[in-house]
Amino acid sequence: MISEEIVVFFVLGLLIGSFLNTVIYRLPIILGYKPPKHPFKKYNLIYPRSHCPKCKSKIPFYLNIPLLAFVFLRGKCFKCKEKISLQYPLVELITGTVFTWVAFNSFDLTQSLFLCFFLSCLIVLSAIDLRFKLVPDTISLSLIVLALLYNYLIRPNIFLDSILGAFIGFSFFYLIEKFYRFLKDKDGLGRGDAKVFSSMGALMGWQSLPFILLAGTLLALLSALFFFLISKRKLIDLKAETIPFVPALSFGLLINLF
């Protein structure tokens, strides 16, 4: 039964990951962070259906199968032959792996589904933060509210820790942001990081925040060093005024969940 659940969660993760790619691409456009480059009068997360960002050709359902379609098409659009970004299979694979990991750790169904939803939102935020250095409030603030509500209804014994976690998580990054601005007279830390860290505190309780921060900071430093040494095109721009930190925090949360 456990092995069947793992397979189901992996396949579900691949399918959800395919939708997350749509959210990652379209949400910044819908919110006005990225200029629209499409001819569609109606444009949201559902309509129009999946299409090539370059030639705008609608993708047939049989060429929209997670992972397999990318391999079958050899990473190119079926019509214009434009290269498909590696983001698409990576997000699908990461989501499938995360869902599998949740199922493997034998949480009850309610907890498993909520964690899958929460982590899916973090995958979206991480990808958008990496690409645009943006953390949409639409998602981050919703996660704080949903995490508090989840603990109030499902885990009332840690609800107070959850409230404190949300407050401390936001306050920590907020104070660092203000202190940095006082010293340098410029922004060095995005407010979005504070909201995401707050949502993690709301989910896990204040006691987990130091471990999440430590794991996230170590990953960010190792990633920066790794790409600085071996790549001309760095994943993290060390000279940028703001560093995308949501992916590292998300990794820290994932480690501390299990």
pLDDT of residue 232: 53
Which tokens sit at 231?
A: 């790549």
Which tokens sit at 11?
A: 């396949």
Residue ending a domain, choose from 106, 137, 160: 106
pLDDT of residue 239: 54
Whether residues 76 and 18 share a domain: the answer is yes
Contact criterion met (CB below 8 Å) for 200 and 212: yes
3-state secondary structure of 250: helix
Closest CA relative to residue 120, chosen from 50, 18, 188, 25: 18
pLDDT of residue 201: 97
pLDDT of residue 1: 44
pLDDT tens-digit readout, 1-44: 467 888 899 999 999 999 999 999 889 888 877 766 666 677 77
- Beta bridge partners, 58, equal 51
Q: CA-CA distance, 156 to 121, in Å (whole number)?
A: 23
Whether residues 213 and 88 share a domain: the answer is no
Whether residues 166 and 210 share a domain: the answer is yes
Whether residues 130 and 256 share a domain: the answer is yes
Range of the domain at 11: 1-106
pLDDT under 70 in the chain at which residues?
1-2, 35-40, 187-188, 227-243
Q: How many other C-beta atoms can be found within 10 angstroms of the C-beta atom of residue 171?
A: 14
